[in-house]
Amino acid sequence: MVSKKLGNKEKQREGMQLGKYELGRTLGEGNFGKVKLARDIESGQHFAVKIIEKSKIIDLNITDQIKREIATLKLLKHPNVVRLYEVLASKNRIYMVLEYVTGGELFDRIASKGKLTEAEGRKLFQQLIDGVSYCHNKGVFHRDLKLENVLLDDKGNIKISDFGLSALPQHFRNDGLLHTTCGSPNYVAPEILANRGYDGATSDTWSCGVILYVILTGYLPFDDRNLAVLYQKIFKGGPQIPKWLSPGAQNMIKRILEPNPIKRITIADIKADEWFNQHYTPANPEDEEEDIHIDDEAFSMHEVPSEDDQRSPQSPTLINAFQLIGMSSCLDLSGFFEKEDVSERKIRFTSNHSAKDLIEKIEDIVTEMGFRVQKKNGRLQVRQENKAQKSLGSLSVAAEVFEISPSLYVVELRKSYGDSSVYRQLCKKLSNELAVPSSQALVTSEV
């Protein structure tokens, strides 16, 4: 009865009007809000509306992160960057009206169809460099470039998204460098891991090189289940470059994935490269001024706080958690705060149980729910394909446990296929039984 009422409530929200927009189905769901499809009633154009619950972002202490994303997107107007059109607010929610990108993540494209041809890969890399170069010229440094944050539109062109960890000129210290450790380990530049300050443009360039490597080969240049070994590989640089790539592509990858940031090729040099310039048509940014409305009375976004401001006594555990996860875990930072990404593919939560106990408890819980469990390469494969139990549906999920510290572990659940509602039911059950509340997890991370 309760689930039925919730379902009815959700359906009532579809068709709800928000200013000139009619809200439709849910596209994705995170820990502090939803993303819904919306239609401009006058023009019929579709948008994606990110609905953020104010109470949740205050509880999670990530108000500054949301402000930063909005302040950043307000600056950017480029065909290869997801556009922010409008920001509205009510007493309890913030509504970000964003460009609706229909082609999904570049990650899913590579995962499902494999590597691209060199010509296809170069075209997307040209668009990526165009978008990143534009951001840098605007004083915006992404700091979390990866395949999951590169979307594809219906014509196959890329759109850079997720600027929640980006940096603006206000975030640089007096030495002219950034110092917050952030990003996703497989894509993060060695100078960020060194924790001595880094140049935002140079570190973004490294991440672009990792993306180029993946789209041309189908696999990561630096990868290892042992994080210490992974970081050693990143510091060393010089990944194995397949000989079947053209000399131009090999040279480009080699010059970008140079571990010494001083010797690394710059964006300007990339644009001057012969291989890069084959069939290259530069993008035309639309920089004419446009007023983006923000309801400042309901949610003030005039100023973006500096990184030093984030170290105030009121929020020490937040910055320590950022540093810890960036340096010591297999997680990207946004995943720590958002339990579920937009595609609902991956969910993570923290736990104080030991790795051995977690594996045993996960196995017991999912077995009680009627799922079958297989152990393989240190992972649990959870499956439900019993047609007799139609209430559970068909589902395949990989479960893996990672150690952050001797007293803190992360459980990662990744759906291979199956019913999203059943997947959420499974994840909710495991999280309720095993997870540490987010506030406790952050405090524990400080140890």
Beta bridge partners of 281: none
To the query of whether residue 144 is one of the catalytic residues in this protein, the response is yes
Measured CA to CA, the distance from residue 203 to residue 67 in angstroms comes to 23
Nearest C-alpha neighbor of 304 from the set 424, 127, 152, 169: 169
Nearest C-alpha neighbor of 263 from the set 202, 175, 214, 318: 202
Choice among 130, 144, 199, 341 that is catalytic:
144
Q: Which residues contact 138 (CB under 8 A, 6 or more apart)?
A: 75, 76
57 phi, psi to nearest 5 deg: -70, -25
Measured CA to CA, the distance from residue 241 to residue 221 in angstroms comes to 8
Measured CA to CA, the distance from residue 303 to residue 325 in angstroms comes to 27
Measured CA to CA, the distance from residue 328 to residue 336 in angstroms comes to 13
Beta bridge partners of 226: none
Beta bridge partners of 50: 35, 96
Residue ranges for the known binding site are 50
Strand ordering across the sheet containing 93-99:
17-18, 21-30, 33-40, 46-53, 93-99, 84-89
130 phi, psi to nearest 5 deg: -60, -50
Nearest C-alpha neighbor of 333 from the set 318, 343, 345, 316: 318
Q: Which two tokens stand for residue 12?
A: 């009532």
Measured CA to CA, the distance from residue 108 to residue 221 in angstroms comes to 18
Q: Which two tokens stand for residue 248?
A: 């131009």
State the greatest distance between any 2 C-alpha atoms of the chain, in Å, as a whole number: 65
Q: Which residues contact 304 (CB under 8 A, 6 or more apart)?
A: 67, 68, 71, 72, 168, 170, 171
- Residue type (1 letter), 404: I
Measured CA to CA, the distance from residue 86 to residue 21 in angstroms comes to 11
Residue ranges for the known binding site for ATP are 50
Nearest C-alpha neighbor of 90 from the set 38, 33, 43: 33
Catalytic residues: 144
